[in-house]
Amino acid sequence: MSATQVAQKVSAEHLARTAYLYVRQSTLRQVQTNTESAERQYALRQRAVQLGWATEQIVVIDTDQGQSGASSADREGFQRLVADVGLGKAGIVLGLEVSRLARNNADWHRLLEICALSRTLICDEDGLYDPADFNDRLLLGLKGTMSEAELHFIRARLQGGILSKARRGELPMPLPVGLVEDSTGKVALDPDAAVQRAIAHLFDRFARTSSARAVVQAFNRDGLLFPTRIRTGERKGDLVWSPLTHSRVLRTLHNPRYAGAFAYGQRRTRKTASGKTTTRVVPREEWLLIPDAHPGYITFEQYERNLRTLAANATAYGTDRAAGPAREGTALLQGLAVCGRCGQRMTVRYHTRKGVQVPDYQCIRVNIQTAGEKCQVIQGNGVDTAISQLLLDTVTPLALEVALNVQAELEARADEADQLRKTHVQRARQRAELARRRYLAVDPDNRLVADTLEADWNDTLRALQTAQDEYERQTAAANAALTEQHKQRIRQLASDFPALWNDPATPARERKRVVRLLIEDVTLTKADQIHVHVRFRGGQTTKLTLPKALNSWQARLTPPDIPAEIDRLLDHHTDAEVAAELNQLGRRSGMKQPFTRRIVADIRHDNNLPSHHKRLRARGLLTHHEIAELLGVHPNTIHAWRRAGLLHAHRTTDKPDYLYEPPQPDDRIRKQQGRRLADRKLASSTPGGAL
């Protein structure tokens, strides 16, 4: 481009306006390290001066440093530039590789458009452009497109590189605490024994309790801390020990890296139209997952099992409810009871009777699905008592083993906790020793350094003292809990399962866990009696039959022979008629009241007596639709025939609902029907017409 051409483009009008120098760097790292391009950008200032602008006419916009150019939405400086150009304040816009002023094509074209309208020139190291000139504008547009294409290729190359590295399991990803990269860059378990133990302890506790909350409780109870590695800042890489939280347990259990699997793509980040960044969690099926990529704390099978357990716990109240973890509450079979009618897991509902918590086992499946009656509700007390007795009776040969397991678990628990606490003390001692050596090694004349090191040494000594005190306190607590009465009690229990079972000090939760150790599930069916089908772990089964428990007011109030009497009367009468019959016989309800339809219905429900309607159906009686179909007439005709006494109908409830006896061969109705068929042949155009 010749000097005259340049001179032609710059007019007096341009020179009267301001020159804008737009300086930008796309990342913070560029701002810090790439000073060369910054220098190139500031050199453009000289160019503006050469073109005729005075130094004080040049405005430098560099507020966007450290932000990516992919969208203008969060770039204040660029927006200010666009605004000023639009207002006609700018005579020229200078920038390094102008096409990069706005990498985003839409932004770029908008700026070009505005520059063209406001007759603003554009200048970069390559030349001077007038966007109002067709040829210049074409050139600039092309540059913008090229720049965008370049950005696209860079990103694609980067993404491709990341993916192929990820596929080989070689992509460096931030590792969770407990895993480190060794000197060769391979992922390995953290060599810090305390960290390893804490993580192993978490997985172990979860395996035993199947509950994330119980893991947290166990850590807190034993005064154990959990490690975190600081990711950023001055203390990057340092370990911090803090109390374990529930979300921490969940994150640890969900992280496939602990199972030795490499995972990539668990989250996906994308830019929204407004330029903001959003992150979404990707379903597990879409991750890139490479099992056995490096050593782990658990097997991949264990990892998947843990996830299933968590899912089951989360849906413990849903319809796909699997056996949940042992929770508080007295119901022994919580999570183990299966409905004998439909095969669903039964839930537990507690209510308080005379200040005592009593459980019901209920199958609510049908209730939820059809808003009809509950599938079945069975009083828990009787069942629990029977199961207790069953365990006490049949478990005797197993008693020793169970109690020994309990004892072994208690001791293992104490041992592990002790190990963990000991390592804390050891670490504190090592640190103190290190600080002491540093202090001794320093030249005593170097007062400042010596003082600092002495202070460090003192700090580590105080930390050691605290760790030791804590260790002694916890050990004393653990021993107090285990030695003397407790150990004696455990030994007692080892030979005496009933004592363990009946000991009021045994929490309901522990009792339930003993049940879980022994019993796989219990199927409950309520019929004339309650049938209990027990499946032990290991495969043996036992059946029990229990009398049906009456509910409290019945048990106290309803005379014992009344249900049988109602059962007899229901063969021939509706609920209201049964009530009338009983009143006729001078019987009174438990509340010393005359019987009503409602009371009869309640007793019928509580005793699972089939209704009059059901009994008639069982005897083969037909609904009026069925009989209408059988006889080939309109249902309305059936009503007419019943009223005319042509059909044998029975009232089934206290509303006008009827069931019909199937017509006998010699019934008048047959003759009637014969006549009707003849009628129909004559007047076939009136189907379903009246008689």
Annotated active-site positions, please? 26
Candidate ranges 302-310, 361-369, 472-480, 607-615; the one touching Zn ion (CB under 5 A):
361-369
Of 68 and 344, which has the nearer Cβ to Zn ion? 344
Of 288 and 366, which has the nearer Cβ to Zn ion? 366
Instruction: Write down the least CB distance from residue 346 to Zn ion, Å.
Output: 7
Contact 406, 493 (CB under 8 A): yes
Does 364 sit near Zn ion (CB under 5 A)? no
Of 188 and 366, which has the nearer Cβ to Zn ion? 366
Which one, of 590, 663, 682, 587, lies nearest residue 621 by Cα?
A: 663
Restricting to residues 419-448, which ones interact with Zn ion according to CB under 5 A?
none
657, amino acid identity:
D
d(CA 422, CA 193): 11
Of 363 and 453, which has the nearer Cβ to Zn ion? 363
d(CA 377, CA 397): 34
Contact 140, 98 (CB under 8 A): yes
Of 363 and 522, which has the nearer Cβ to Zn ion? 363
151 Ramachandran zone, left/alpha/beta (phi>0; psi -120 to 50): alpha
d(CA 188, CA 190): 6
d(CA 615, CA 33): 91
Instruction: Write down the least CB distance from residue 613 to Zn ion, Å.
Output: 22
Restricting to residues 295-354, which ones interact with Zn ion according to CB under 5 A?
339, 341-342, 344
d(CA 244, CA 205): 13
31, amino acid identity:
V
Size of the site for Zn ion (CB under 5 A): 6
Q: Count the Cβ atoms, other than its own, within 10 Å of residue 686.
A: 10
Distances, alpha carbon 577 to alpha carbons 207, 238, 603, in Å: 60, 83, 14
**Which H, E and C letters describe 404-470, residue by residue?**
HHHHHHHHHHHHHHHHHHHHHHHHHHHHHHHHHHHHHHCCCCCHHHHHHHHHHHHHHHHHHHHHHHH
Of 123 and 339, which has the nearer Cβ to Zn ion? 339
Does 375 sit near Zn ion (CB under 5 A)? yes
Of 211 and 523, which has the nearer Cβ to Zn ion? 523
632, amino acid identity:
G
Of 71 and 334, which has the nearer Cβ to Zn ion? 334
Instruction: Write down the least CB distance from residue 400 to Zn ion, Å.
Output: 38
Instruction: Write down the least CB distance from residue 320 to Zn ion, Å.
Output: 14
Instruction: Write down the least CB distance from residue 202 to Zn ion, Å.
Output: 37
Restricting to residues 493-512, which ones interact with Zn ion according to CB under 5 A?
none
Restricting to residues 177-216, which ones interact with Zn ion according to CB under 5 A?
none
Backbone angles phi, psi at 10, to 5 degrees: -85, 115
Tokens of 505: 């000090």
Of 339 and 649, which has the nearer Cβ to Zn ion? 339
Of 378 and 628, which has the nearer Cβ to Zn ion? 378
Instruction: Write down the least CB distance from residue 343 to Zn ion, Å.
Output: 7
Does 530 sit near Zn ion (CB under 5 A)? no
Instruction: Write down the least CB distance from residue 347 to Zn ion, Å.
Output: 11
Instruction: Write down the least CB distance from residue 315 to Zn ion, Å.
Output: 18
Please identify which residue in the block is written with the tokens 């450290």. Answer: 66
Binding mask 112-151 for Zn ion (x = CB under 5 A): ----------------------------------------
Helix, strand or coil, per DSSP, at residue 686: coil
Q: Count the Cβ atoms, other than its own, within 10 Å of residue 476.
A: 10
As a whole number of angstroms, the longest Cα–Cα distance in the chain is 133
Instruction: Write down the least CB distance from residue 375 to Zn ion, Å.
Output: 3
Angle in degrees, CA 266, 271, 273, rounded to 5: 145
Which one, of 653, 652, 658, lies nearest residue 640 by Cα?
A: 658
Element (H, E) at 399: helix 396-441
Candidate ranges 45-53, 181-189, 328-336, 357-365; the one touching Zn ion (CB under 5 A):
357-365
Contact 296, 255 (CB under 8 A): no
Compute the radius of gyration of the chain from its Cα atoms: 42
Binding mask 452-471 for Zn ion (x = CB under 5 A): --------------------
Instruction: Write down the least CB distance from residue 329 to Zn ion, Å.
Output: 21
Tokens of 258: 């602990």
d(CA 98, CA 112): 11
Candidate ranges 170-178, 360-368, 657-665, 682-690; the one touching Zn ion (CB under 5 A):
360-368
For Zn ion, the binding residue among 48, 85, 179, 363 (CB under 5 A) is: 363
What is the binding site for Zn ion (CB under 5 A)? 339, 341-342, 344, 363, 375
